[in-house]
Amino acid sequence: MSALLDVEELQVTFGRTAAVRGASFRVERGETHCLVGESGCGKSVTALAVMNLLARGGQRSAKKMSFAGTDLTSLSDREMARLRGNRMAMIFQEPMTSLNPAFTIGSQMAEVMTRHKGGSRAAALDRAAELMGRVGITAPGMRLGQFPHQLSGGLRQRVMIAMALMCDPELLIADEPTTALDVTVQAQILRLLAGLKRELGLSILLITHDLGIVARVADHVSVMYAGEVVERAPTADLFRAPQHPYTRGLLSCVPVPGRVQRDRPLGSIPGVVPAIGPGFAGCAFRSRCAHADETCTRAIPRHQAGDAHDYLCRLEPDWAELQPA
Protein backbone atom coordinates (compact mmCIF):
# COMPACT_ATOMS: atom_id res chain seq x y z
CA MET A 1 0.00 0.00 0.00
CA SER A 2 1.26 3.49 -0.72
CA ALA A 3 2.25 5.88 2.05
CA LEU A 4 -0.40 8.11 3.60
CA LEU A 5 1.74 11.19 3.20
CA ASP A 6 4.46 11.20 0.58
CA VAL A 7 6.69 14.26 0.27
CA GLU A 8 9.48 14.44 -2.29
CA GLU A 9 11.94 17.27 -2.75
CA LEU A 10 10.02 19.86 -0.79
CA GLN A 11 11.46 23.36 -1.10
CA VAL A 12 10.30 26.35 0.93
CA THR A 13 11.73 29.85 0.69
CA PHE A 14 11.03 33.10 2.49
CA GLY A 15 12.50 35.72 0.21
CA ARG A 16 16.22 34.96 0.19
CA THR A 17 16.03 32.43 3.05
CA ALA A 18 15.91 28.81 1.94
CA ALA A 19 14.08 27.26 4.91
CA VAL A 20 13.55 23.79 3.45
CA ARG A 21 15.88 22.52 0.73
CA GLY A 22 14.65 19.37 -0.92
CA ALA A 23 13.25 17.43 2.03
CA SER A 24 11.80 13.98 1.28
CA PHE A 25 9.97 11.69 3.68
CA ARG A 26 7.01 9.33 3.83
CA VAL A 27 4.50 8.73 6.61
CA GLU A 28 3.13 5.20 6.37
CA ARG A 29 -0.41 4.37 7.46
CA GLY A 30 -0.80 3.61 11.15
CA GLU A 31 2.76 4.71 11.92
CA THR A 32 4.43 7.45 13.89
CA HIS A 33 7.02 9.26 11.83
CA CYS A 34 9.35 11.66 13.62
CA LEU A 35 11.00 14.69 12.09
CA VAL A 36 13.91 15.46 14.40
CA GLY A 37 16.54 18.18 14.35
CA GLU A 38 17.73 21.29 16.16
CA SER A 39 15.95 24.63 16.13
CA GLY A 40 15.79 26.37 12.79
CA CYS A 41 16.41 23.24 10.70
CA GLY A 42 13.01 23.52 9.03
CA LYS A 43 10.75 21.11 10.89
CA SER A 44 7.85 23.48 11.50
CA VAL A 45 8.08 25.02 8.07
CA THR A 46 7.91 21.52 6.56
CA ALA A 47 4.72 20.74 8.49
CA LEU A 48 3.16 24.08 7.68
CA ALA A 49 4.01 23.61 3.99
CA VAL A 50 2.19 20.27 4.01
CA MET A 51 -0.85 21.89 5.63
CA ASN A 52 -0.58 24.87 3.25
CA LEU A 53 -0.40 27.15 6.29
CA LEU A 54 2.89 28.93 5.54
CA ALA A 55 3.21 32.49 6.78
CA ARG A 56 3.01 35.30 4.22
CA GLY A 57 5.99 35.34 1.92
CA GLY A 58 6.55 31.61 2.20
CA GLN A 59 6.82 29.88 -1.20
CA ARG A 60 6.63 26.12 -1.48
CA SER A 61 7.30 23.71 -4.31
CA ALA A 62 7.72 19.97 -4.41
CA LYS A 63 8.32 17.18 -6.86
CA LYS A 64 5.57 15.32 -5.08
CA MET A 65 3.32 15.97 -2.11
CA SER A 66 0.47 13.54 -1.86
CA PHE A 67 -1.93 12.70 0.93
CA ALA A 68 -3.93 9.46 0.66
CA GLY A 69 -3.39 9.55 -3.09
CA THR A 70 -4.47 13.19 -3.49
CA ASP A 71 -1.92 15.61 -4.93
CA LEU A 72 -1.85 18.39 -2.33
CA THR A 73 -0.15 20.88 -4.62
CA SER A 74 -3.09 20.76 -7.03
CA LEU A 75 -5.77 21.55 -4.43
CA SER A 76 -7.46 24.94 -4.29
CA ASP A 77 -7.37 26.86 -1.01
CA ARG A 78 -10.98 25.83 -0.38
CA GLU A 79 -10.33 22.17 -0.98
CA MET A 80 -7.28 22.35 1.28
CA ALA A 81 -9.33 24.03 4.01
CA ARG A 82 -11.78 21.15 3.78
CA LEU A 83 -8.99 18.64 4.44
CA ARG A 84 -7.47 20.56 7.35
CA GLY A 85 -8.99 19.80 10.71
CA ASN A 86 -10.93 17.06 9.01
CA ARG A 87 -8.79 14.37 7.41
CA MET A 88 -5.51 15.89 8.61
CA ALA A 89 -5.26 17.81 11.86
CA MET A 90 -2.41 19.65 13.52
CA ILE A 91 -1.47 20.49 17.11
CA PHE A 92 1.23 22.91 18.24
CA GLN A 93 3.71 23.42 21.07
CA GLU A 94 1.68 26.18 22.65
CA PRO A 95 -2.04 25.31 22.65
CA MET A 96 -2.99 28.89 23.48
CA THR A 97 -1.96 29.99 19.98
CA SER A 98 -4.74 27.87 18.53
CA LEU A 99 -7.37 28.22 21.25
CA ASN A 100 -9.57 31.29 21.36
CA PRO A 101 -9.47 32.75 24.90
CA ALA A 102 -12.98 34.22 24.51
CA PHE A 103 -14.86 30.95 23.94
CA THR A 104 -15.41 27.90 26.11
CA ILE A 105 -13.60 24.66 25.34
CA GLY A 106 -16.93 23.03 24.48
CA SER A 107 -18.00 25.60 21.92
CA GLN A 108 -14.62 25.52 20.21
CA MET A 109 -14.62 21.74 20.00
CA ALA A 110 -18.20 21.62 18.73
CA GLU A 111 -17.45 24.22 16.08
CA VAL A 112 -14.74 22.06 14.47
CA MET A 113 -17.24 19.25 14.05
CA THR A 114 -20.21 21.25 12.78
CA ARG A 115 -18.00 23.12 10.28
CA HIS A 116 -16.66 19.96 8.66
CA LYS A 117 -19.35 17.37 9.23
CA GLY A 118 -22.53 19.34 9.90
CA GLY A 119 -24.94 17.85 12.44
CA SER A 120 -26.32 19.37 15.60
CA ARG A 121 -24.39 21.25 18.25
CA ALA A 122 -25.72 18.86 20.89
CA ALA A 123 -24.34 15.87 19.02
CA ALA A 124 -21.01 17.66 18.60
CA LEU A 125 -20.86 18.39 22.34
CA ASP A 126 -21.56 14.74 23.09
CA ARG A 127 -18.67 13.73 20.90
CA ALA A 128 -16.45 16.36 22.54
CA ALA A 129 -17.23 14.97 25.99
CA GLU A 130 -16.57 11.43 24.82
CA LEU A 131 -13.20 12.39 23.32
CA MET A 132 -12.17 14.32 26.40
CA GLY A 133 -12.73 11.20 28.42
CA ARG A 134 -10.73 9.30 25.81
CA VAL A 135 -7.73 11.62 26.20
CA GLY A 136 -7.79 11.17 29.97
CA ILE A 137 -9.53 14.30 31.15
CA THR A 138 -11.52 13.70 34.32
CA ALA A 139 -14.93 15.41 34.61
CA PRO A 140 -15.25 16.31 30.89
CA GLY A 141 -18.68 17.89 31.43
CA MET A 142 -17.19 20.52 33.74
CA ARG A 143 -14.17 21.13 31.47
CA LEU A 144 -16.37 21.77 28.42
CA GLY A 145 -17.82 24.84 30.13
CA GLN A 146 -14.39 26.25 31.05
CA PHE A 147 -12.25 28.79 29.21
CA PRO A 148 -8.72 27.91 27.99
CA HIS A 149 -6.92 29.99 30.64
CA GLN A 150 -8.62 28.00 33.40
CA LEU A 151 -6.73 24.85 32.40
CA SER A 152 -3.13 23.80 33.13
CA GLY A 153 -0.71 23.44 30.21
CA GLY A 154 -1.02 19.65 30.21
CA LEU A 155 -4.82 19.78 30.21
CA ARG A 156 -4.81 22.30 27.37
CA GLN A 157 -2.65 20.00 25.27
CA ARG A 158 -5.07 17.13 25.98
CA VAL A 159 -7.92 19.40 24.86
CA MET A 160 -6.03 20.19 21.65
CA ILE A 161 -5.59 16.49 20.97
CA ALA A 162 -9.28 15.81 21.63
CA MET A 163 -10.19 18.70 19.33
CA ALA A 164 -7.91 17.37 16.60
CA LEU A 165 -9.70 14.01 16.84
CA MET A 166 -13.22 15.46 16.47
CA CYS A 167 -13.51 14.62 12.78
CA ASP A 168 -11.65 11.30 12.92
CA PRO A 169 -8.54 12.40 11.01
CA GLU A 170 -6.25 9.94 9.25
CA LEU A 171 -3.15 12.04 9.91
CA LEU A 172 -2.23 13.99 13.02
CA ILE A 173 0.66 16.42 12.72
CA ALA A 174 2.03 17.30 16.15
CA ASP A 175 4.68 20.05 16.27
CA GLU A 176 6.67 19.80 19.52
CA PRO A 177 3.47 18.97 21.43
CA THR A 178 5.24 18.37 24.76
CA THR A 179 8.17 20.77 24.60
CA ALA A 180 6.54 23.30 26.94
CA LEU A 181 5.44 20.66 29.45
CA ASP A 182 7.07 19.07 32.48
CA VAL A 183 8.62 15.64 31.92
CA THR A 184 5.91 13.99 33.97
CA VAL A 185 3.14 15.53 31.87
CA GLN A 186 5.13 14.90 28.70
CA ALA A 187 5.23 11.18 29.41
CA GLN A 188 1.46 11.15 29.93
CA ILE A 189 0.75 13.01 26.67
CA LEU A 190 3.10 10.83 24.61
CA ARG A 191 1.59 7.71 26.10
CA LEU A 192 -1.79 9.01 25.09
CA LEU A 193 -0.64 9.62 21.50
CA ALA A 194 0.85 6.14 21.30
CA GLY A 195 -2.44 4.67 22.51
CA LEU A 196 -4.46 6.64 19.94
CA LYS A 197 -2.21 5.47 17.16
CA ARG A 198 -2.69 1.87 18.21
CA GLU A 199 -6.42 1.98 18.87
CA LEU A 200 -7.62 4.34 16.14
CA GLY A 201 -5.06 3.41 13.50
CA LEU A 202 -4.04 7.05 13.42
CA SER A 203 -0.90 8.07 11.53
CA ILE A 204 1.21 10.65 13.29
CA LEU A 205 3.85 13.03 12.00
CA LEU A 206 5.61 14.05 15.21
CA ILE A 207 8.04 16.94 15.19
CA THR A 208 10.55 17.11 18.00
CA HIS A 209 14.11 18.11 18.86
CA ASP A 210 14.28 15.40 21.54
CA LEU A 211 15.96 12.11 20.62
CA GLY A 212 14.55 10.46 23.74
CA ILE A 213 11.03 11.06 22.43
CA VAL A 214 12.01 9.79 19.00
CA ALA A 215 13.41 6.56 20.42
CA ARG A 216 10.31 5.88 22.47
CA VAL A 217 7.50 6.70 20.03
CA ALA A 218 8.70 6.69 16.41
CA ASP A 219 8.42 3.87 13.90
CA HIS A 220 10.47 5.78 11.33
CA VAL A 221 12.68 8.83 11.69
CA SER A 222 13.84 11.61 9.40
CA VAL A 223 16.74 13.66 10.73
CA MET A 224 16.80 17.23 9.44
CA TYR A 225 19.75 19.60 9.24
CA ALA A 226 19.72 23.04 7.63
CA GLY A 227 16.56 22.39 5.62
CA GLU A 228 17.45 18.91 4.39
CA VAL A 229 16.57 15.41 5.51
CA VAL A 230 20.11 14.11 6.04
CA GLU A 231 19.20 10.63 7.26
CA ARG A 232 16.07 8.45 7.21
CA ALA A 233 15.74 5.11 8.93
CA PRO A 234 13.53 2.78 10.93
CA THR A 235 13.93 3.91 14.54
CA ALA A 236 15.86 0.90 15.83
CA ASP A 237 18.36 1.16 12.93
CA LEU A 238 18.90 4.86 13.43
CA PHE A 239 19.87 4.43 17.06
CA ARG A 240 21.85 1.24 16.52
CA ALA A 241 23.82 2.30 13.48
CA PRO A 242 23.48 5.99 12.65
CA GLN A 243 25.45 6.76 9.49
CA HIS A 244 25.41 10.51 8.98
CA PRO A 245 28.08 12.36 10.98
CA TYR A 246 25.43 14.83 12.18
CA THR A 247 23.18 12.06 13.50
CA ARG A 248 26.14 10.48 15.25
CA GLY A 249 27.16 13.80 16.77
CA LEU A 250 23.63 14.54 17.93
CA LEU A 251 23.35 11.17 19.65
CA SER A 252 26.64 11.68 21.47
CA CYS A 253 25.41 14.98 22.95
CA VAL A 254 22.48 13.50 24.83
CA PRO A 255 23.21 12.73 28.46
CA VAL A 256 21.58 9.38 29.24
CA PRO A 257 20.48 8.93 32.84
CA GLY A 258 22.14 6.04 34.56
CA ARG A 259 24.90 6.05 31.99
CA VAL A 260 26.46 9.45 32.48
CA GLN A 261 30.05 9.58 33.59
CA ARG A 262 30.62 12.67 35.61
CA ASP A 263 33.98 14.33 35.12
CA ARG A 264 33.89 13.11 31.53
CA PRO A 265 32.86 15.68 28.94
CA LEU A 266 29.72 15.04 26.92
CA GLY A 267 30.11 14.63 23.22
CA SER A 268 29.35 17.89 21.46
CA ILE A 269 29.24 19.27 17.96
CA PRO A 270 31.59 22.22 17.52
CA GLY A 271 30.44 25.45 15.92
CA VAL A 272 26.98 26.56 14.88
CA VAL A 273 24.53 25.96 12.02
CA PRO A 274 25.72 28.08 9.07
CA ALA A 275 23.54 30.65 7.33
CA ILE A 276 22.45 29.13 4.04
CA GLY A 277 22.09 31.72 1.28
CA PRO A 278 20.89 31.26 -2.28
CA GLY A 279 23.24 29.26 -4.44
CA PHE A 280 24.67 27.28 -1.48
CA ALA A 281 26.09 24.01 -2.72
CA GLY A 282 27.47 20.89 -1.11
CA CYS A 283 27.00 19.57 2.40
CA ALA A 284 25.65 22.10 4.91
CA PHE A 285 27.29 20.23 7.77
CA ARG A 286 30.84 20.58 6.45
CA SER A 287 31.81 23.53 8.68
CA ARG A 288 31.23 21.30 11.73
CA CYS A 289 32.16 17.88 10.39
CA ALA A 290 35.35 16.05 11.35
CA HIS A 291 35.26 14.11 8.05
CA ALA A 292 34.85 17.07 5.73
CA ASP A 293 37.13 17.31 2.71
CA GLU A 294 37.03 19.26 -0.55
CA THR A 295 34.52 16.88 -2.18
CA CYS A 296 31.98 17.95 0.43
CA THR A 297 31.53 21.28 -1.36
CA ARG A 298 30.12 19.47 -4.41
CA ALA A 299 26.89 17.56 -4.92
CA ILE A 300 26.47 14.95 -2.18
CA PRO A 301 25.24 11.42 -2.93
CA ARG A 302 22.42 9.76 -1.01
CA HIS A 303 23.69 6.38 0.19
CA GLN A 304 21.45 3.42 0.85
CA ALA A 305 22.29 1.72 4.16
CA GLY A 306 19.34 -0.66 4.32
CA ASP A 307 15.81 -1.18 3.02
CA ALA A 308 14.39 2.01 4.42
CA HIS A 309 17.64 3.54 5.61
CA ASP A 310 19.44 6.21 3.61
CA TYR A 311 21.58 9.26 4.29
CA LEU A 312 23.14 12.23 2.55
CA CYS A 313 26.92 12.14 2.86
CA ARG A 314 29.99 11.35 0.79
CA LEU A 315 31.05 8.60 3.24
CA GLU A 316 30.28 4.98 2.36
CA PRO A 317 28.04 3.00 4.73
CA ASP A 318 29.77 1.27 7.63
CA TRP A 319 28.61 -2.24 6.78
CA ALA A 320 30.19 -3.87 9.82
CA GLU A 321 28.16 -1.63 12.07
CA LEU A 322 25.01 -2.08 10.00
CA GLN A 323 25.04 -5.89 10.32
CA PRO A 324 21.98 -6.97 12.29
CA ALA A 325 23.04 -7.66 15.86
Partner 1 sequence: MTAAIEVENLRCEFRVHTGLMSAEKRVVAVDDVTFSVPAGSVLGIVGESGCGKSTLARLILGLLKPTGGSVLVDGKRLFDLDRKARARLIQPVFQDPFASLNPRRRIKDIVALPLAAQGTFSRGEIERRVGGILERVGLSAAMGERMPAQLSGGQRQRAAIARALVLEPRIVICDEPTSALDVSVQAQILNLLADLRRDLGLTYLFISHNLAVVEHVASEVAVMYLGRFVERNETDALFRKPRHPYTQALLESVLTPEPGKGVPDIGLGDAMPDPSNIPPGCRFNPRCRIAVERCRHEAPKPMVRPPRGMVECHLA
34 binds, among ligand ADP, Mg ion, ligand SF4, none (CB under 5 to 8 A by kind): none
Question: CA 119 from chain center: how many Å?
Answer: 32
| Distant-in-sequence contacts of 63-69, Cβ < 8 A, 24+ apart | 63/8, 63/9, 64/6, 64/7, 64/8, 64/9, 65/6, 65/7, 65/8, 65/10, 66/5, 66/6, 67/4, 67/5, 67/6, 67/171, 68/4, 68/170, 69/2
Asked whether position 43 contacts ligand SF4 by CB under 6 A, the answer is no
Going by C-beta distance under 8 Å and a sequence separation of 6 or more, which residues neighbour residue 221? 33, 34, 36, 214, 231, 232, 233, 234, 235, 238
Q: Which stretch binds Mg ion (CB under 5 A): 40-48, 101-109, 246-254, 298-306?
A: 40-48
191, 291, 298, 302: residue in contact with partner 1 (rule CB under 8 A)? 191
Q: How far is the CB of 129 from partner 1 (least distance, A)?
A: 16
Q: Which does 55 bind (CB under 5 to 8 A by kind): partner 1, ligand ADP, Mg ion, none?
A: ligand ADP
Question: Under the criterion CB under 5 A, does residue 108 sit at the interface with Mg ion?
Answer: no
List the Cα angle 31/36/41 in 5-degree steps.
135
Of residues 145 and 267, the one with the C-beta less far from partner 1: 267
Smallest distance, Å, CB 12 to partner 1?
21
Q: x/- string (CB under 6 A) for ligand SF4, residues 218-257?
A: ---------------------------x------------
**Contacts with ligand ADP, residue ranges (CB under 6 A):** 14, 17, 19, 37, 39-45, 55, 57
| Closer residue to ligand ADP (CB): 43 or 134 | 43
Of residues 32-91, those binding partner 1 (CB under 8 A) = 38-39
Backbone dihedral region of 238: left (phi > 0), alpha (psi from -120 to 50 degrees) or beta? alpha
Q: What is the CA radius of gyration of the chain?
A: 21
Residues that bind Mg ion (CB under 5 A): 44
